[in-house]
Amino acid sequence: MSLEHPLLAGVGLAHGFGTRSDTPPAGLRRPRQVHGARVVSAEECDAEVEADGVVARRPGASGRIAIGVVTADCVPVLAAAADAAAVAALHAGWRGLAAGILGVGIDALRRESSGAPLRAVIGPYIGPCCYEVDEPVVDAMRYFDADLDAALRASRPGHWWLDLGLLARAALRRAGLADEAIGHFDDACTSCGEERFHSFRRDGRRSGRLVHWIAASGPGAP
């Protein structure tokens, strides 16, 4: 079963954060992810397009557009306008966070929206219990300043446990979201949660991918 969050379900948005056992909807529009900060519209998105985020505006009549990203430890973010007029799916690993993917994604979502406040949910990712990084990763995150300090805990010399989700939350706040408009899941470390999640750190090259999706639906959609 995929995971749903009340911040999105509460405004009638069909969505799912992937687990090992669920099947994503057919016709999902997903880009070819490259750990960058490019966000494309659903119309221009296909499996050949290099990007790490997709935005979609609510189609007319009974249309429905589902967009998505895949992860195996990185942070997935599904976001939407509170009136459900536009949605976004974003992929944020440490490289994407350093490149500013979440700010770019929220700006793109805002352009597709009609002025309603935005909300976002941080999906399952590798938690600070399991995600140890070294100096180059920390250096790439320096612009998070005090938010970086809060997300780090020293492990052994030259290494730290990093909470990518805290950085994602900081990036979403900086992009203008209220803290209460940002959701997450407790106890959802992809590496600890072997029964529910795929994890690249844990499983290496044989790891599968989790598929996360959100749909924009027209007023007459079933």
Site residues for Zn ion per CB under 5 A:
127, 129-130, 189, 191-192
Of 142 and 156, CB closest to Zn ion: 156
Which residues, in sequence order, are bridge partners of residue 120?
79, 182
From the number of C-beta atoms within 10 Å of its C-beta (0-12, 13-18, 19+), residue 8 rates as: buried
**CB 182 → Zn ion: shortest distance, Å?**
21
Of 105 and 165, CB closest to Zn ion: 165
**CB 129 → Zn ion: shortest distance, Å?**
4
Closest by Cα among 110, 121, 80 to 176? 110
Which residues 6+ apart lie within 8 Å of 205 measured at CB? none
Is 50:38 a contact under the CB 8 Å cutoff? Answer: yes
Of 11 and 192, CB closest to Zn ion: 192
In Å, how far from its chain's centre is CA 172?
11
Of 57 and 184, CB closest to Zn ion: 184
Q: Which amino acid is at 184?
A: H
**CB 197 → Zn ion: shortest distance, Å?**
10
**CB 155 → Zn ion: shortest distance, Å?**
13
**CB 203 → Zn ion: shortest distance, Å?**
13
d(CA 84, CA 88): 11
Of 70 and 189, CB closest to Zn ion: 189
